[in-house]
Chain A
């Protein structure tokens, strides 16, 4: 791996036309938004850049930023060994990983109700299980008294 850029400064000069420094900064910005502490941020961003630069993906048309971000998502979802591809699975796993990371900071009193549906879509259940009951509308509207009397009279006559 010695041929790969080992720092952001080195990375920025690696493939012509691509700004690796900016890709690294974007990865750091993402990690900051995710709440990762600064030291870990730099390390993870550097790793993502390194991995992206090592892949030949950039040659397939993707820029440095795109490849770095995909590498970062893969790192966050523990898919280090897979080739850099932005698949549906990666997107879903990334969302799940971000959710779990966010929930890990939750106070322990209430267990976060995370569940998966039939499509393996992770769902944050915001309501308790239902217990259905019937609530029928009450009878409230009544004809005005003269109409009721008239109806009664007509009914009695017939």
Chain B
């Protein structure tokens, strides 16, 4: 095992390249931003000499630098993929070291779950398991489903799914299930708990998300890469989003599939071995992870204190601090995940990520972190803070218009001056700036489109050349409409986080669920009203400026129908039939995705998990075998259990509260007695309540 900090010395080539590239990125962004900033100064009527204009200028520069980073990332990714520049790609480096023939080490595949749909979780796991089995390397892997599920009934479903999975595949002893009673530190705590108890027996762990699916050959390749690259601490795969059917999700999948590879290649180009870890679909060397990546609580109870929510970025930074490399294998396939089905679901996820990323502000001063990872923290903060800056820019611009419209022109400043200040308006220059900024925003899309046309897979996998082109155009329009809506929400998230509103740990919606009109009105109604007032006010102040603002306010005005229609599964299917937003995974589904869909196509009868665990003889036996017999119980609790199980047998399950069910489910005697008691009920009506004829 190499000593911390030794990897850079062992492989100075990528380190030197990384330093040059970081410097180059800094120069490119700085020069481009400085040039545009100076141009902006010329455009402002008072050339930035008023306080308001200075504020407009500062926000503009912040936003432009952010856009510029994205542009150069895409630009680097474009050339990397176009000319297949794999010299410093981790996959190529490992292949050169003979990774294809490397023996495998013991690897744990971890699937942390939290109140997820157990059927979907185990369907995904089954797909991965069978794919791995086909490689003939299954013996090197152990699977761990690490449940943090708080809903007792759902946890029973998890137990049953696990046991059936193991029984049907002969996987007892290879596929494990553990439910944590205390959910300390959320997902990072869940993985940390595994590391403390079982981590020492494995060399690597591959972390999944609840909706992750990975191909067996990819898993084998990841382990082989780690084996021949002892300096690597984490290797992240780029997951392809697939398998969703709502219009919103299909558009997101398409965007991820067309633009994603270029951006990932770009991120790899700039960061090399100091790259991202996205929390799932990645392999981690366990020993250094245990030694260096334990996360403490951030001091204080404020919004930026407490448990670290976006743990993955921090773990990557800590791994690198200890001298281990963190790579993104941008050219490794066979890694899949799913995207949120609706805009509101995406925003709910963003709410959580926003607080997590803002917490990284407190870690910027952490000793020993690489500059690349500090920049990564800033990047993560800007992912949400940029929305706030954009909103501020729009507010300040509107204020500038109001000042221009409502106050007389000032030719002399408060300072002594011989010459008057002539306010200058250059609409053509402003137009040129807008066009060039839009160019930076949209050029990556054009480059991605070009790559998709020029490089494999063939365009027929995207529905053909014309459908692909039309889909890119439509996606660009939808993304432009969604940008102001996301901006307003993200700005709100930043603000609410900073004023101390904590995020609750909610389960992520993973199945296709549509947004209802009332829900959309509840979430987007405020934005619609604000946009109408804003648009009306600006039109009254300066009709010419209104047209500049129109793309933003019109998107906000129509945010309710937009959110509803985009969530529609029917429209998603319609687009699919029309060949729009098609991705290769839909045309020629990889074996893993096809297997997952076949697995999920069988409909399971909807049964109350509590009733199922009580009534079904096998489910009851399995659940009992998963419970620990309590040595002692407080007399009050024992009395309560007697009371509620008597109530259940006398009046049926409908009289029980969720807490009653949860308590009964966790008590061995109660579950035994209820099982025996329910099957002895002779009364027809009561029997039917328990699902018996």
Residues of chain A touching chain B, judged by Cβ–Cβ distance below 8 Å, are 19, 22-23, 25-26, 29-30, 33-35, 62-66, 69-70, 73, 86, 88, 90-92, 94-96, 98-99, 101-103, 105-114, 117, 119, 121-124, 126-128, 130-145
Contact = CB atoms under 8 A, between A and B. Distances in A.
A66 B680 contact: yes
A74 B201 CA distance: 43
B248 interface: no
Given A95-B624, A121-B629, A126-B162, A140 B363 contact: yes
B680 A65 contact: yes
Nearest to A133: B200
B519 interface: no
Nearest to B290: A135
6 contacts: A33-B615, A98-B618, A99-B625, A126-B176, A127-B178, A140-B295
A133 B616 CA distance: 40
B23 interface: no
Interface stretch (B189-197, B326-334, B561-569, B572-580): B189-197
Given A65-B681, A114-B625, A144-B365, A138 B293 contact: yes
Given A102-B621, A103-B167, A124-B626, A19 B682 contact: yes
Contacts of B299: 141
Interface stretch (B480-488, B535-543, B658-666, B667-675): B667-675
Contacts of A131: 197-198, 200-201
B365 A143 contact: yes
Given A126-B176, A138-B295, 14 more contacts: A64-B682, A65-B680, A66-B680, A69-B676, A90-B676, A96-B621, A102-B622, A109-B169, A112-B172, A124-B622, A127-B176, A135-B294, A140-B296, A140-B318
B296 A133 contact: no
B634 interface: no
A117 B629 CA distance: 9
B653 interface: no
A126 B676 contact: no
B222 interface: no
Contacts of B624: 95, 99, 122
B142 A91 contact: no
Interface residues of B, number: 65
Given A138-B318, A141-B299, A107 B676 contact: no
A124 B673 CA distance: 20
Contacts of B196: 132-135
A107 to B, nearest CB: 3
A114 B624 CA distance: 12
**Which one of B170, B196, B672, B680 has the greatest number of beta carbons of chain A within 10 Å?**
B680
Interface in B116-151: 142, 144
Interface string B277-320: 00000000000001011111011000000000000001000100
Contacts of B167: 102-103, 105-107, 112
Contacts of B142: 128
A25 B624 CA distance: 26
B629 A119 contact: yes
B171 A142 contact: no
B617 interface: yes
Contact of A91 (B199, B290, B673): B673
A103 B419 CA distance: 95
Interface in B515-556: none
Nearest to B681: A65
Contacts of A124: 163, 622, 625-626
Contacts of A127: 144, 176-178, 198
Interface string B176-187: 111000000000
Interface in B154-179: 159, 162-163, 166-174, 176-178
Contact of B170 (A64, A101, A107, A142): A107
A130 B167 CA distance: 23
